[in-house]
Structure 1
Amino acid sequence: MALFGRKKLTIGLDVGSGLVKAVVIDHSGPVPELAKVVITPLNDTAIVEGEVMDHGIVADAIRQTIAATGAKTKNIVAAVGGRDVIVKKIQMERVKEQQARELMRWEAEQHVPFDMDSVELDFQVLDPDGDGLDMSVLLVAAKRDLVEAKQSLLTEAGASPAVIDVDAFALHNAFEANYPEALTGTIALLNIGNEATNLNILDEGVPILTRDLGVGTRRFREDLQRENGMSAEDAEDLLRGYDRHPMLDGVVSMRGEEIAIGMERAATFLSTSQRNFGTIRAVYACGGGARVPGLLPWLSDRLRIPVQPANALAKLAVREGAFEFLSTDEVAPLLMLPVGLALRAVA
């Protein structure tokens, strides 16, 4: 344990529907250093469609995961996401920050389809030094019961978070740290998870839209089982394989089409609601689905833009032994979200 003594550590905790992932980052040196990665599997029924079905199992997995990091710190950063979180770039009259804070509730009522009494609001002025009559503001709204449910689950696991972030911002943090040269023009980040795919569209490095698409690797696996009569384990082996098996062709095209249509609809929405919105020039994919053989090339052909994997470790310093018995190549696509959370140094 002395390895972690008096260090400035942050644990990024990602509770997914198939895996609980914890990343420890040490902020005490000249650059952030990844010190430990722990991944704990969950059974298929513990979390379904984002809903925690068995709090005991999930809380135990969280407790086990954090304990396995060996990090003695209370600086745990978790996140919320999904349809009950709205991230939107808006324009409003240029005022001082205090006045903007007072006006934000009224502004949110114009843009957020939730009852204002049931949400947590935050915002960031994107051009604080501008001199125009209007200013660009990134508005964030999350349903209060979503935040409270995440806090309650973590408290039950003995892991009260220091910060509750938003999935889209954590993905952005990790991407910015590893691909700073890519944050020009309009790009899309795809986090293809077990239950859903999170789409995050950035314009000049600023998140302007986040949306969840209802397709994830669970659908791929179930399709393979149903169409080929194979077990869940055999289907998972195909999805994690390095070669594109012919059995994957139909699944990749069917579920890939859902992802492509979701992206096209998001782009159409932005083109009609945002002034000066250009076209998406590139897509960067992470999450377990990014490993599905043939999926990213298929999406690239379908969308007619480059679609490439995003590696959360591309430029991140990694301490020897951080992965212990894990295969770095296999788990790296899974770490964009927890790395982004852990990169947030907690005061």
Structure 2
Amino acid sequence: MTKKRDKNTKFVGIDIGSYSIKIVALEKISTKYTLSEYNIKKIPINTEPEQLEGIIKESLEEVGISPNKVNLSVSGPDVIVRFIDFPKMTEEQLEDALVYEAEKYIPFNLSEVITDFIILGDAQESGQMKVILAAAKKSMVLPMLEVIKQVGMEVEVVDVDSFALFNAFFYANPLVENKCYALLDFGHSRTNVLISDGKAPCFIRQIQIGGKNIDESLIRDLSLSLEESEKCKLGLSELDKDAIMKSTTPILDSLLKELQLSFTYFENRTNKKIEEIYCCGGMIEQERVFEYLNENLGIQMKKWNLFNSIGFSGNLSQEDVHSVSSQLVVSLGLALRG
């Protein structure tokens, strides 16, 4: 699943997931980005972190690029994001204050994490400002940095998956500023939820339900191998579809419940109504998943293709990435960081 052209790549995003590695390379012409290369490579079961080096090298070789710098993202239970109101102060003052204040918001030993923050702007309460505080365990981040170093590259940006998702969406949809919307990224291990007031993220949650839970259910209920389960999810199996849905439905119902809880919590806390939901991710391409969630969520979901707003270089076209576009959103958002 590869497309390539020449080696003149400028901006590269690498999304190292639990199921696959996604690479996107962009070129910038004036103020517009064009897609020059992409690659999706499945990660074999039981792959150790140090083995990712070879997979990334192979992916880069397949698309014929050798970037000096790349952007990465992190996600999972070892990543914490908090939205906090602070008294107005300078960025330097906030950095000093967080040395003492961060432990109130981060459930990890501060010596074990890497932290960063973004000042969003004024809060509703006078004299306050909104701040996003993010923390990731060093035990997760540092091995990833070492893998990239061993490949011969330098990491320029380490982002959070959900922020890369927002960055990609806002680039493609700059006119949604006056709407409250949710972005859902249905992945293999988890579902990332981001809610925006139209200008910036204001709620983030990771739901630990994804495509692997469907695999586990199908394997258990129908006595399938992992390969057979994959075929079921893609609609390539000859097994009875009712039996497949009977096994899959409890997983989707659990996911629906968590999504609805997230939306209700956000709406009660902010008095804002979510107007639109946009979704992406490999799990959403599985047979009947989108339809079932859309029918039962209570708010219409839309699949979105970010590449409608991205040009294409060389011999690439919209048709080339159509079937995999929802899997490339995070890596594309990372590449857009420049």
TM-score by length of 1: 0.85
Q: Which residue of 1 aligns with 2:325?
A: 332
More displaced 10-residue stretch of structure 1: 67-76 or 314-323? 314-323
Q: Give the distance between the partners of 1:207 and 1:129, measured in 2 at CA.
A: 13
User: What is the SS of the residue equivalent to 1:162?
Assistant: strand
1:3 partnered with 2:35? no
Counterpart of 1:152 (choices 146, 155, 163) is: 146
Q: Distance in 2 between matches of 1:70 and 1:29?
A: 24
Gaps (5+ residues) in structure 1?
47-53
Match of 1:3, SS state, is: coil
The answer on whether the counterparts of 1:37 and 1:322 sit within 8 Å (CA) in structure 2 is no
Matched, 1:103 2:103: no
Q: What code does the residue aligned with 1:332 have? A: S
1:62 equivalent in alignment to 2:56:
yes
Choose from 257, 262, 265 the match for 2:261: 265
* 1:194–1:323 distance in 2 versus 1, CA, 3 Å: farther
The separation in 2 between residues aligned to 1:136 and 1:194, in whole angstroms, is: 32
- Percent sequence identity is 25
CA distance in 1, matches of 2:231, 2:112: 43
Structure 2 portions without partners, runs of 5+: none
Change (3 A) 1:228 1:208: same
Give, as a single letter, the amino acid of the residue that structure 1 aligns with 2:36: A
Give the counterpart of 2:250 among 254, 264, 271: 254
User: C-alpha distance in 1, partners of 2:288/2:176?
Assistant: 23
Cα distance in 1 for residues equivalent to 2:5 and 2:296: 51
Instruction: Please state how far the C-alpha of 1:296 moved relative to its aligned partner.
Output: 2.2
Kindly provide the CA deviation profile for residues 291-325 of structure 1, in whole angstroms up to 9, marking residues without a partner as x: 0222223223322101121223121112243479x
User: Is the Cα–Cα contact under 8 Å of residues 74 and 162 in structure 1 kept in the other structure?
Assistant: no
Task: Within 5 Å, give how 1:126-145 maps onto structure 2.
Answer: 126-127=120-121, 132-145=126-139
How many residue pairs end up in the alignment? 333
Deviations 1:228-258 (CA, angstroms, capped at 9, x unpaired): 3344333322322399943442244211112
More off after superposition, 9-18 vs 92-101: 92-101
Tell me which moved more, 86-95 or 240-249.
240-249
Q: CA deviation at 1:89?
A: 1.8
CA RMSD of aligned residues (A): 2.8
Give the letter for the 2:41 counterpart: T
User: What are the superposed Cα offsets for residues 46-91 of structure 1, whole Å, 9 maximum, x if unpaired?
Assistant: 2xxxxxxx23432210111122232242121111111222222211
Give the letter for the 1:18 counterpart. Answer: Y
The letter of the residue matching 1:336 is V
1:190-339 alignment runs, 5 A limit:
190-241=184-235, 245-270=241-266, 274=269, 276-322=270-316, 328-339=321-332
Separation (CA, whole Å) in 2 of partners of 1:168 and 1:264 = 18
1:128-166 deviations in whole A, cap 9, x for unaligned?
699941111122222233221221222233333222111
How far residue 269 of structure 1 moved from its aligned partner, in angstroms, is 4.4
> What is the deviation of 1:34?
0.6
CA contact (8 A) 1:224 1:235 kept: yes
Contact 1:38–1:323 (CA<8 Å) still a contact in 2? no
Match of 1:49 in 2: none
Instruction: Please name the residue that 1:51 is paired with.
Output: none
Counterpart amino acid of residue 3 in structure 1: D
Question: Quick one: distance in 1 between partners of 2:109 and 2:49?
Answer: 27
The one-letter amino acid of 2:51's match is: I
